[in-house]
């Protein structure tokens, strides 16, 4: 597979990025022994990029990752994120200097490392001036505790504001964006992805299988697999996600993915990842296996040569709806 530069930086990352949100989840996730096996298998397969966050399972994911890479730290590009609520106090969340400083120190301790290769704002903080957040991140880079900085879940306009703030202050810019993107969630193509591209940012995709929808295990709205991600939870958030995801349009996409997979002798998972890997502007794809077997299935997608006709067919059937003002600009 080789390695690619993360945006305009000199940092080389693998096209596959190991996501570790499942590590340490006691209900549906991965215990430490299997987490270690997943990390070892991923690295032995020639990949170097691992992503976590302080909020994943209340810090347990970072602890598992830290111990798993302890003997091979220099060969790993380690990414983590800060922003989310990590305590009961008013300054225990957000992108303020106070919280980010605490968050970074806690992540370094849990990960058992002296530096983070890529430290990311997990979300936009409406309560903190972006100038304060960017100045804080620049301070982390200058201190040597962070090598590069990025963000996740930003709008296009927020990316611009962050980069302008860094430029005005003479500080380190964001080198990457981590957005949701897949055959069923292509919204970023309208504004966010072009903005990231114009600013020379690497794009690290999360949820490339649409929460499991594109694995082929979901075939009927009223017959969900017991072990599926979309089957979990009965609260309003879980019900809302099912309502957004289990749509007629998305089932049509899944049917086409399964057809292409059958024609190629591949799995729907591999086809979905192969389509995404060749989309313009995409640097790396985060996969989140719960087992080594799932990891192997995911990595097959990075080796699959998807025929051009198949890729075009998948792009046609999954084309996102376009609202104002994008439809005005696209017809010009």
Q: What is the DSSP string of 26-73?
A: TTTSB-HHHHHHHHHHHHHTT--EEE--TTGGGGHHHHHHHHHHGGGG
Structure tokens at 119: 């430290």
Between the CA of residue 328 and those of 319, 323, 325, what are the distances in Å?
Answer: 17, 9, 5
Concerning whether 56 is annotated as a catalytic residue, the answer is: yes
Q: CA-CA distance, 234 to 237, in Å (whole number)?
A: 8
Q: CA-CA distance, 37 to 287, in Å (whole number)?
A: 15
Whether 4 contacts 283, CB under 8 Å: yes
Give the single-character DSSP code of 282.
-
Q: CA-CA distance, 190 to 169, in Å (whole number)?
A: 29
Q: CA-CA distance, 186 to 321, in Å (whole number)?
A: 9
Active-site residue, selected from the candidate residues 56, 83, 119, 218: 56
Cα 11 to the center of its chain, rounded Å: 17
Whether 245 contacts 211, CB under 8 Å: yes
Q: Sign of torsion, CA 90 92 96 101? A: positive
Residues assigned a catalytic role: 56
């Amino acid at each position: 597979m080789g390695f690619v530069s993360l945006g305009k930086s000199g940092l080389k990352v693998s096209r596959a990025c190991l996501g570790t949100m499942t590590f340490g989840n006691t209900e549906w996730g991965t215990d430490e022994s299997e987490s270690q096996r997943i990390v070892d298998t991923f690295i032995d397969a020639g990949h170097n990029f691992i992503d976590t966050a302080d909020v994943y399972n209340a810090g347990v994911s970072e602890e598992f990752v830290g111990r798993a890479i302890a003997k091979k730290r220099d060969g790993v590009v380690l990414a983590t994120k800060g922003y989310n609520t990590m305590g009961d106090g008013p300054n225990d969340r957000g992108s303020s200097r106070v919280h980010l400083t605490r968050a970074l120190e806690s992540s370094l301790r849990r990960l058992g490392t002296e530096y983070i290769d890529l430290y990311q704002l997990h979300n936009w903080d409406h309560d903190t001036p972006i100038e304060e957040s960017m100045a804080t991140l620049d301070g982390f880079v200058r201190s040597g505790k962070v090598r590069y900085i990025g963000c996740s879940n930003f709008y296009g306009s927020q990316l611009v504001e962050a980069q302008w703030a860094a430029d005005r202050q003479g500080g380190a810019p964001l080198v990457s964006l981590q957005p949701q993107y897949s055959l069923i969630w292509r919204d970023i193509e309208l504004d966010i992805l072009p903005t990231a591209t114009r600013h020379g940012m690497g794009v690290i995709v999360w949820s490339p299988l649409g929460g499991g929808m594109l694995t082929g295990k979901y075939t009927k709205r009223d017959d969900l697999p017991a072990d599926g991600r979309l089957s979990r939870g009965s609260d309003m958030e879980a019900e809302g996600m099912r309502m957004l995801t289990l749509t007629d349009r998305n089932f049509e996409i899944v049917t086409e993915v399964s057809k292409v997979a059958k024609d190629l002798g591949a799995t729907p998972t591999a086809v979905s990842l192969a389509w995404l890997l060749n989309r313009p502007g995409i640097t790396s794809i985060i996969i989140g296996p719960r087992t080594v077997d799932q990891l192997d299935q995911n990595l097959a997608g990075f080796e699959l040569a998807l025929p051009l006709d198949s890729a075009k067919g998948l792009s046609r059937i999954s084309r996102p709806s376009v609202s104002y003002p994008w439809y005005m600009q696209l017809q010009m």
